Amino acid sequence: MNNHEPINNSYLISSKIVRAIRAVIGEKKNTLHEPTFKGKEWEYVKDCLDSGFVSSVGQYVEKFENKITEYTGAKYAIAVVNGTAALHLGLIVAGVKFDDEVLVPSLTFVATANAVSYIGAKPHFVDINAKDFGIDAKKLTAYLKEISEIKNGVCVNKKTGRVIRAIVPMHVFGHPCNLKELLPLCNEFKIKVVEDAAEALGSFYDKKHMGTFGNLGVISFNGNKTITTGGGGVILTDDVELATHAKHLSTTAKSNHPFAYIHTEIGFNYRMPNLNAALGCAQLEQLPELLNSKRRLYRAYSKAFSEISEVSLFQEPPLCQSNYWLQTLLLNEEFMSCRKEIIENCIEDGISTRPVWKPLHKLSMYENSPASSLPITNNLSERIINIPSSAGLV
């Protein structure tokens, strides 16, 4: 940072943040979250190349799906090309139709709402809580009682006349949201649950893996996630009919015939390629150590930030085991106006930092979407700073 800058809160806080991070990671080059390849990635990918099966047919796709079910406890896993495709298919097989409404948090990556929009349905934004950054079940209960009614076995928005078909709880930065409060509410209001566990591989709520609580759940294996397949995602479910339908749709809805091309409905070319699955199999073998490394990083950051009063380091919620995918600072409210300068100062000093996503209700294509009041979303979105989180940093 420029030594001639005026002394101000932004400069002082960013100086403290830089020192704290450097105390943990030293002078290592850092990005926000880069992948770690220390296992059999080369071996499995070469085996895939040598076999000639690099597309959506090959032994590694099924092997990867089996490893995912074994780890997460889900009965079925359908590997697809990315997390957004997983959400899209998950919502379709959950029964979301054109002009339905789907409840989503506004503080999430844009893919959550985009997947709803691909179907021609409407994202309906609801508020979160500050404890886990997840949908606030108590506030949602009061809101649904106010704006909806059950008609013919479905939840109908009294203001728009549309069916509120599903909800997409999001586990922000890998931290589990409180599904034990949310699920009974969804049952009461006849709302299907499609968990956005894109960031939550290795995260558990009361010893149950995220993505396995609802009707379906999805996980992402993008290059910046805890493990990566380069690009990829998976749908999790315990329902054999949903799993069968999702897999069928992911392979262009082609019938299982030895040579004829017969397609039974409009499907999608979403199956994960064997090449990506080979990388994923090697990555999954390292998952326990990757999670241990990220927990060590959290403990080191916790110590380094313990005496910096202007920010707090976000900790996993009670009853939860988080993967700590992205380490998260929360600025005190009185300093929230300093965040942009703090991030710029940190980046200038070589420390990768970023704000949280812009709330979706503030994006031009979604600003007219139905929404509850969103005070916590608006507040937290101005205070969150993500800091270097790669497993290889400690």
pLDDT, residue 258, reads: 87
**pLDDT > 90? residue 272:** yes
Kindly report, residue by residue over 284-336, the tens digit of the pLDDT. Answer: 999 999 999 999 999 999 999 999 999 999 999 999 999 999 999 999 999 99
Cβ-based neighbours of 50, under 8 Å, separated by 6 or more? none
Kindly report, residue by residue over 36-53, the tens digit of the pLDDT. Answer: 999 999 999 999 999 998
Measured N-to-C along each axis, helices 83-93 and 111-118 cross at an angle, to the nearest 10 degrees, of: 50
pLDDT, residue 66, reads: 98
What residue has token string 């997460």?
72
Helix or strand run (H / E) with residue 192: strand 192-196
pLDDT, residue 58, reads: 85
- How many residues are there in the chain? 394
**pLDDT > 60? residue 30:** yes
Average pLDDT over residues 253-282: 95
**DSSP label at residue 213:** S
The residues spanned by each domain of the chain are: 9-36+287-393, 41-283
For residue 172, CA distances in Å to 3, 133, 179, 198 come to 37, 6, 13, 9
Q: How confident is the model at residue 29 (pLDDT cuts 50, 70, 90)?
A: confident
- Overall pTM > 0.85: yes
pLDDT, residue 28, reads: 84
For residue 173, CA distances in Å to 41, 89, 107, 228, 256 come to 25, 22, 11, 16, 39
Least confident of 121-130, 256-265, 354-363: 256-265
Q: How confident is the model at residue 3 (pLDDT cuts 50, 70, 90)?
A: very low
pLDDT, residue 211, reads: 98
pLDDT, residue 57, reads: 80
Query: Which CATH number is 41-283 given?
Result: 3.40.640.10
Output phi, psi for 180, to 5 deg: -65, -25
51 residue type, one letter: S
How many C-alpha atoms does 375 have within 13 Å on its Cβ side?
Answer: 1
**DSSP label at residue 26:** T
CA distance 167 to 214: 10
Average pLDDT over residues 263-273: 97
By the 8 A CB rule, do 213 and 197 touch?
Answer: no
Kindly report, residue by residue over 190-237, the tens digit of the pLDDT. Answer: 999 999 999 999 999 999 999 999 999 999 999 999 999 999 999 999
* Strand-strand pairing, 164-167 and 101-105: parallel
Q: How confident is the model at residue 6 (pLDDT cuts 50, 70, 90)?
A: very low
Q: What percent of the chain has pLDDT over 90?
A: 94
Hey, which residues does 219 pair with through a beta bridge? 234
Query: Which CATH number is 9-36+287-393 given?
Result: 3.90.1150.10
Q: What percent of the chain has pLDDT over 70?
A: 98
Torsion angle defined by CA atoms of residues 313, 206, 140 and 171, in that order, rounded to the nearest 10 degrees: 50
Average pLDDT over residues 133-162: 98
- Which of 301, 235, 240 shows the shortest CA–CA distance to 23? 301
pLDDT, residue 2, reads: 47
CA distance 256 to 146: 48
CA distance 282 to 64: 9
